[in-house]
Amino acid sequence: PLRYISKYREFVKHEAVKNKSQWKTMGPAKVAVPSPNDFLQKHSKEPKLAPKKKEEDGKKLLPLSVPQRTYRPVIRIKKNFINKNAVAVIRGVPKKPRPFCVDTRQGDKYPLEPSGLVPKYIKKKNYGVTPKYVTRRNEEIKREEEEYEASVLEQLKKKAMKTLSDEERTNILKALKKNWEEINHAYQGLPVLTDTRYKKIHKEELELKLKQLEHDIAAIEKHKNVYIAD
């Protein structure tokens, strides 16, 4: 196939040659030599005022109009500015001297206000006031603590201990004593000789159960009011 050739090729070449800058060519620039007649004249660069307009077509200006009877001229009162300024100075508040800070022996000074030595921050209206977000956060924390305490109290109420009635106390004592009698009867029926490991372990278990039952029976008999948890 034939090679592609753009139809704008000649136009691009022509524009490139036409717009070619002078400083991109070799040799000195071709500049027209100034004419000797175009020399700088005196007052040539000063702005020229527009010519004064003459009366057009011989027209004269209209005469001044006569003021009406109701016209009252404005009376201008002459002011004595010297006395006025003197009174203002006498009655005025004296200006405070501008504070300066001297930091060298030679007396180099600079204004005290922009130096950073003046405590401007502590003189603000909102200085020492707790920010709103801190107050809001403290209220949220306090509310969460109250909710947690309420939930803990509710759980404690649910797990509150109740007292045993006399009937329940006597029934528990009877059951413990009956259990003790049964275990004691089994303990009395053990062989005298405990020559095996199983016999030793069984004897120790029965002794521990008897001690625990005796402790429970003594604790219930000793205290009239017994509290138990749910």
21 falls in which pLDDT band (50, 70, 90)? low
The confidence score (pLDDT) of residue 208 equals 92
Note whether residue 38 is domain-resident: no
Q: Among residues 131, 160, 189, which one ends one of the domains? A: 160
Residue 134 inside a domain? The answer is yes
User: Quick check: is 21 in a domain?
Assistant: no
Q: Which of 189, 169, 181, 230 is nearest to 209 (CA)?
A: 181
Evaluate if residue 210 carries a pLDDT over 80.
yes
pLDDT bucket at 59, cuts 50 / 70 / 90: low
End-of-domain residue from the set 137, 160, 183: 160
Confidence of residue 139 (pLDDT cuts 50, 70, 90): very high
Residues 156 and 102 grouped into a single domain:
yes
Cα 194 to Cα 130, 187, 197, 204, 205, distances in angstroms: 80, 13, 8, 11, 14
Same domain, 153 and 176: no
Residue 155 lies in a domain: yes
The whole-angstrom separation of Cα 180 and Cα 188 is 12
Structure tokens at 221: 């008999």
Number of neighbouring beta carbons within 10 Å of residue 199: 13
Same domain for 200 and 173: yes
Q: Does 137 lie in the same domain as 187?
A: no
Domain boundary, last residue among 133, 160, 187: 160
Residues β-bridged to residue 227? 163
Q: How far apart, in whole angstroms, are the C-alpha atoms of residue 111 and residue 123?
A: 19
Are 150 and 183 within one domain? no
Mean pLDDT of 88-106: 86
Q: Provide the pLDDT confidence category of residue 158 given band limits of 50, 70 and 90.
A: confident
Q: Which domain holds residue 124?
A: 97-160
Overall domain count for the chain: 2
Task: Tell me, yes or no, whether 144 and 174 share the same domain.
Answer: no
Q: Which residue has the tokens 């749910």?
A: 230
Would residue 187 count as lying in a domain?
Answer: yes
Residue 156 lies in a domain: yes
pTM (whole model) above 0.85 = no
